[in-house]
Chains A and B, each alone.
Chain A
Amino acid sequence: MNVIEINNLTKYYGKERGIIDVSLNVEEKEIFGFIGPNGAGKTTTLRTLLALIYPTSGSATIFGMDCIKYGTEIKKEIGYLPSEVFYYDKMKVIDLLKYSASFYKKDCSKRIKELTEIMDLDLHKRIDDLSFGNKKKVGIVQGLLHGPKLIILDEPTSGLDPLMQQKFFELLQEENKKGATILFSSHILGEVQRLCNRVAIIKEGKIIQLEKISALQENNYKKIKVQTTANLDQDYFNIEGVSNLEEKQNIISFLFRGNINSIMKKISDIEIANVWIEEPDLEEIFLHYYEKGV
C-alpha cells in the first residue's frame, strides 16, 4: 500500500521554478529519502504535501486522501519537522509541547516525557534561551509526540551533534519498526544511505532517479584501486566501462561499470602488490548523476 502518491506535481512561484512534474510513491512502513542539493525542490515538494503551499498542477494523496482537500484529516497522523525550527519564543518548552499536543485528541503526556528524556531536553527553559540544536530537539519531540503514522522531515539533522544524530536516528528506526512511514529530505548522502530503503534524487525541480538504495549502490559500479609493483602506464586500464582514472604513486584508481570478469582478467595479467575493490558510496554515484546531468 502506498502511503504517499505524488502524481505529476508541479509548482511555480510566479515564474520561478519550484518543482516540475514530480511523481513518486512512498510505500507503507518505508523509510524514503529525498536527496538533492539546495534549491532543487525538496522543500517545495514536502510543503505541498503538507498543504502549506498549493500546487500549480498535479496532485498528491496521503493515506489515499487528497493532500489539499483532506489536509486537516491527514495532518492528524503526520509529524513534521521543518529544516529550521521556530517556535513562540516566550513560551517554555513544556508549554509549547503541551500546546502542540492539544491539537491532537489524545493524551500525549507520557510520550512527551519519554521523548524529552531520550533527547535530553530541559522542559522548563524558555524557547528563546535555547541553542539552535536544542530548538531542533524541541522540534523532534514536537513532531513525534502524537505517535504519527507518517513522519515528514526536512533536513532533520542540521544543527544536531553526532551523538544526538545517532539517538535521533535510533528513534526514527524505532518509530519505523512500530509502523511509521518516514519521508525525509537531505543533502547529506551518508544519512540517507544509512536509514533509507529507497531514494529519489531531485535536480532542478525534476526527479532524475528513483531507486532502491541497494540498487543504486549495485548498479554495477565498483571502485577499484590497484597497487602495481612496477611502473605501469595507467592507460593499461583505459578500457570500456572505466571512468575517473587516476594514478598516484603506483596506485591506479578508477570506477568500473560493466562485466566484472573483463576487469578481473586485466588485473590478473599484471603483477600487482595490492588490490582494493569497493562499493562506491552514494556520494560518488550521486556526483556521477549530477555531472552527467541525466
Chain B
Amino acid sequence: MNMFLHELKAYRKSAITWTSALVVLIILFLSLFPSISKEAEEFKKILEGFPEAIRIALGLSVENIGSILGYYSYIFLYISLVGAIQAMNLGLSLISKELREKTADFLLTKPITRTQIMTYKLLSAVTSLVITNVFYLVTATIMASWVEPNEYSTKVFLLLSLTLFFLQLIFLALGIIVSVMLPKIKSVLSISLGTVFAFFIMGALVSTTGDQTLRYFTPFKYFDFAYIVQNSGYESSFMIAAIGFIAIAITASYYIYSKSDIHAV
C-alpha cells in the first residue's frame, strides 16, 4: 500500500498535465461543433473535394460530420492519439524510471518481491489512467450535451469515449514490455512519440486499404468508430485481440522483470 501511494504521487504531475491536455482538447473540439453542424452542407462540400483516400485515412465520413456522434468519432482520433502517448510514456517509465534515476537499489533491497513491485506499479499506473479518463469523460459528456441540445445516443457516446481507456491500456502494456526488454532507455518521450506515431500512421494507411487482418497490427484500428456508432457495441474479435495482447505483454513483463539483473550504477 505504501508503495502504491508513493507511485501514485510520483505520477501526479504528469497525470495532471496529460489530463488537462485532454480536457482542453475536448473542450476546444466540441465547442467547434455548433458552427460545423450549422454549416454541415457547406462543410460536406469542402470535404468531398478531398481525395477519397485522404478522407478515409483521416477517418472522415462525410455523411455523419453534422451529427454529434459522427463529429465526435472523427475528432476522437486525435484524442486517442494524445491518450496513447500518455499511456505509452507511463508504461515506459514505470520500471525504467527506477533505473534511470538509480533508485532501483533502494527499492529492491527492501523486503518486497519484484512481483509485488510490478503489481503496485501497475495498479498505480492503471489508477492514474482511470482518473484521467474520469475527468475526460465528465468533461466530454457535459460539453456534448451542451453543444448538441438534440437527442443522441449517450450509450454510443460512452462506448466511443471508453475506447480511450482501452487504447491506453494497450499502450501501457506495450510501454511496460518495451521498458523491461530495453532497460537502458534514456529518453522515454522520444520512444513513446515514435512508437505511437508509427502505429497512428500505420492505422491511417490500414484504413485506406480496408484490409481487416492488417487492422490487428495497429491498436488505433481495434475500435472502428463507424462500427460502434452503427452497432452500439465493440467488435468482439478485436476486443479479444486487445485483451490477449495486454495479458501476454503484462505476463511477459512480470517474468522478464523478475529474472533480470539490476546493474550497479
Shortest distance between the CB of A105 and any CB in chain B (Å): 9
The CA-CA distance from A53 to B258 in the complex, in Å, is: 10
| B113 in contact with A82 (CB, 8 Å) | no
Say if the beta carbon of A100 comes within 8 Å of chain B: yes
Q: Which residues of A contact B211 (CB under 8 A)?
A: none
| A103 in contact with B263 (CB, 8 Å) | no
Within 8 A of A (CB), among B238-265: 259, 261-265
A-B pair count, CB < 8 Å, reads 62
Within 8 A of A (CB), among B1-50: 2-3, 6, 10
Q: Which residues of B contact A75 (CB under 8 A)?
A: 109-112
| A88 in contact with B101 (CB, 8 Å) | yes
Listed in ascending order, the chain B residues whose CB lies under 8 Å from chain A are: 2-3, 6, 10, 101-106, 108-113, 259, 261-265
Within 8 A of B (CB), among A50-67: 50-54
Residue of B nearest to A88 (CB): B103
17 A–B contact pairs at CB < 8 A?
Answer: A50-B108, A50-B109, A52-B261, A75-B109, A76-B111, A83-B264, A86-B105, A87-B106, A88-B10, A88-B101, A88-B103, A89-B101, A99-B2, A102-B2, A103-B3, A104-B111, A142-B106
Residue of A nearest to B115 (CB): A72
Q: Which residues of A contact B101 (CB under 8 A)?
A: 86, 88-89
Q: Which residues of A contact B109 (CB under 8 A)?
A: 50, 52, 75, 78, 80
Chain B interface secondary structure, helix, strand, loop or mixed?
loop
| B108 in contact with A52 (CB, 8 Å) | yes
Residue of B nearest to A83 (CB): B264
Q: Which residues of A contact B264 (CB under 8 A)?
A: 43, 47, 82-83
Q: Which residues of A contact B10 (CB under 8 A)?
A: 88
Q: Which residues of A contact B108 (CB under 8 A)?
A: 50-52
Q: Which residues of B contact A104 (CB under 8 A)?
A: 110-111
Chain A interface secondary structure, helix, strand, loop or mixed?
loop
Q: Which residues of B contact A120 (CB under 8 A)?
A: none
Say if the beta carbon of A271 comes within 8 Å of chain B: no
Say if the beta carbon of A133 comes within 8 Å of chain B: no
Q: How many A residues touch the partner, as a band?
A: 20 to 34
Shortest distance between the CB of B15 and any CB in chain A (Å): 15
Q: Which residues of B contact A54 (CB under 8 A)?
A: 259, 261
Q: Which residues of A contact B2 (CB under 8 A)?
A: 99, 102-103
Shortest distance between the CB of A292 and any CB in chain B (Å): 30
Residue of B nearest to A51 (CB): B108
Say if the beta carbon of A73 comes within 8 Å of chain B: yes
Within 8 A of B (CB), among A28-61: 43, 47, 50-54
Residue of A nearest to B104 (CB): A52
Shortest distance between the CB of A19 and any CB in chain B (Å): 13
| B262 in contact with A53 (CB, 8 Å) | yes
Q: A72-B111, A72-B113, A89-B101 are in contact. Are A53 and B106 (CB under 8 A)?
A: no
Q: Which residues of A contact B259 (CB under 8 A)?
A: 54
Shortest distance between the CB of B13 and any CB in chain A (Å): 9
The CA-CA distance from A54 to B113 in the complex, in Å, is: 14
Shortest distance between the CB of B64 and any CB in chain A (Å): 47
Residue of B nearest to A71 (CB): B113
The CA-CA distance from A45 to B111 in the complex, in Å, is: 19
Within 8 A of B (CB), among A76-96: 76, 78, 80, 82-84, 86-89
Shortest distance between the CB of B93 and any CB in chain A (Å): 13
Q: A82-B105, A86-B102, A99-B6 are in contact. Are A53 and B263 (CB under 8 A)?
A: yes
The CA-CA distance from A142 to B104 in the complex, in Å, is: 15
Shortest distance between the CB of B113 and any CB in chain A (Å): 5
Shortest distance between the CB of B187 and any CB in chain A (Å): 18
The CA-CA distance from A82 to B104 in the complex, in Å, is: 11
| A100 in contact with B103 (CB, 8 Å) | no
Residue of B nearest to A96 (CB): B106
The CA-CA distance from A142 to B109 in the complex, in Å, is: 11
The CA-CA distance from A76 to B109 in the complex, in Å, is: 9
